[in-house]
Amino acid sequence: MALRIVVAGDSVGADYKEAIKADLEEDPRVEEVIDLGATPGEEATYPGLGFAGARLIAQGRADRGVFVCGTGMGMAICANKVPGVRACTAHDSFSVERLIMSNDAHVLCLGQRVIGRELARRLAGEFLSYTFDPASHSKANIDLLDRLEAEVGSATT
């Protein structure tokens, strides 16, 4: 299945976002790359970009996302505000694997001020390599997360 990937990068993460975008556009696993991020030198802040990218995933217009800011944390916080989206910062291969295999996450967040460019590119590629197994022991945790999120959503409306 070819993936639709949304990429986002604020002013700080624009350089890595551009490199990752170029890699994804050449990746045979990727059908479409949706770029919501800033270009190098352009002013943009992470809250609107992270939220907008996550909304595309929640709406079914993208399958996954790779978001870049200074630490990855701001983008993760924003993306996690969108119901139905799970995002996390990960800066090593094992964490990227577990992001999908244990947590069925949708968004990998990276920090341009935290890791090197080549590692960021490699981790973005690895993120596409994994598929959540709904028969795994982690499925019960994902189901509970979904139920709790629905409860919180219904309590606030």
Q: Write the DSSP assignment of 85-153 as a string of letters.
A: --EEE--SHHHHHHHHHTT--SEEEEETTTS-HHHHHHHHHHHTT----TTSTTHHHHHHHHHHHHHHH
What is the CATH number for 98? 3.40.1400.10
Residue 157 has pLDDT above 80, yes or no: no
pLDDT (tens digit per residue) in 70-118:
999 999 999 999 999 999 999 999 999 999 999 999 999 999 999 999 9
Can you give the residue range of the structural domain that contains 144? 3-156
The number of folded domains in the chain is 1
pLDDT (tens digit per residue) in 68-83:
999 999 999 999 999 9
List 69, 78, 88, 109, catalytic entry: 69
Q: How far apart are CA 124 and CA 116, in angstroms?
A: 12
pLDDT (tens digit per residue) in 19-68:
999 999 999 999 999 999 899 999 999 999 999 999 999 999 999 999 99
109 is catalytic: no
